[in-house]
A and B are shown apart, each in its own frame.
Chain A
Amino acid sequence: DAGVIQSPRHEVTEMGQEVTLRCKPISGHNSLFWYRQTMMRGLELLIYFNNNVPIDDSGMPEDRFSAKMPNASFSTLKIQPSEPRDSAVYFCASSLYVRGKAEAFFGQGTRLTVV
């Protein structure tokens, strides 16, 4: 398997524009996570899905952020409108969840810069 695939790897956009980050989890995995990493705040869990259903979105910073998982092989994280403080590295991870005993595999991340 190619692992978790994220696209794009780098994104530079202007403030106010819509940004869509994409993730393809490992085939057969049933859980998907979106994280954000910044120097100031470290790694933050934004949202996670089990079997394509959002379970916990308490980490989503505000209504400008939304995430979807229309099927088991694809997820998106959308920011609309984007702001400079959204600049960060966004990671997607997937796992095969079995009663709390499963490690997550991470993608290479998308480095987002909002100017």
Chain B
Amino acid sequence: AQSVTQLDSHVSVSEGTPVLLRCNYSSSYSPSLFWYVQHPNKGLQLLLKYTSAATLVKGINGFEAEFKKSETSFHLTKPSAHMSDAAEYFCVVSDEAAGNKLTFGGGTRVLVKP
């Protein structure tokens, strides 16, 4: 069975400093992995995805994530936080064994301080 653990429920960073959101997954098969962002009172927007191509994936708004199979991790990073990055971020896994069912992590809420 597939599962996702986001290691931090809240992250606080200062504007201009790096952001790191941690995600570990469990999957029986070659997984697809995604990061979604949800701004307050909005829907979920895809930031980036990994689907067995390059292990370093670049997404929108300067975010990137690296797939590390040996560590079963898919951490999300951004070199310099912006005030507009304040939102909730979800790590998501999907694999063939689960059909196309998406399994969401619990979410990480990011606070950006000026």
Contact = CB atoms under 8 A, between A and B. Distances in A.
A51 B17 CA distance: 45
A55 B99 contact: yes
A93 B94 CA distance: 15
A113 interface: no
B100 A91 contact: no
A45 B102 contact: yes
User: Which range contains the number of A residues in contact with the other chain?
Assistant: 20 to 34
B3 to A, nearest CB: 13
Contacts, number: 57
A100 B44 contact: no
Q: How large is the interface on B (under 10, 10 to 19, 20 to 34, 35 or more residues)?
A: 20 to 34
Chain A at the B interface: mostly helix, strand, loop or mixed? strand
Interface string A33-49: 10000000011010010
A31 B44 CA distance: 17
Interface in A73-111: 91, 93, 95, 97, 99-109
16 contacts: A42-B104, A43-B90, A43-B104, A50-B99, A50-B100, A55-B101, A91-B44, A97-B99, A100-B32, A101-B32, A101-B51, A102-B100, A104-B46, A106-B43, A106-B44, A107-B43
Interface of A: 31, 33, 42-43, 45, 48, 50, 55-56, 91, 93, 95, 97, 99-109
